[in-house]
Amino acid sequence: MPERENSLSNDWNIESVSKSLNTKPDEIQDRDLGPGKRFQVGETRLDIYPSSSTTRLILPGLKLQIDSVDPPTTTPDSVIFSPSESSPLFLNLGRNGEVTLFAKTRTSSPEPVSAHTKPVPEPLPAEIQDNEEAKKEPRLSLSGRVGTKPSFRTTRKGTLVGGFALAVHEGDKTTWQNVKAFGERAQKLKDSLKKGDAVDVVGYLHERQIKTKSGGSRTAQEIYAVVITPR
- Domain CATH for 183: 2.40.50.140
Higher model confidence: residue 3 or residue 57? 57
Contacts of 85 (CB under 8 A, 6+ apart): none
pLDDT digits (tens, 9 = 90+) for 170-187: 777 888 888 988 888 888
Residue 150: helix, strand or coil by DSSP? coil
- In this structure, of 8-17, 48-57, 62-71, the range with the lowest mean pLDDT score is 8-17
Q: What is the mean pLDDT of the chain?
A: 75
Is pLDDT of 223 > 80? yes
For the stretch 120-138, what's the b/e string if a residue is b when 16 or more beta carbons lie within 10 angstroms of its beta carbon?
A: beeebbebbeebebbeebe
Mean pLDDT of 63-67: 84
State residue 222's pLDDT score: 85
Query: Which range marks the domain in which residue 128 is found?
Result: 118-230
Q: Is 17 inside any structural domain?
A: yes
Residue 59 shares a structural domain with residue 148: no
Residue 226 shares a structural domain with residue 136: yes
Q: Is 202 inside any structural domain?
A: yes
State residue 47's pLDDT score: 94
State residue 102's pLDDT score: 63
Residue 95 shares a structural domain with residue 177: no
Mean pLDDT of 86-97: 76
Q: Is 108 inside any structural domain?
A: no
Residue 159 exposed, middle or buried by CB count within 10 Å (0-12, 13-18, 19+): middle
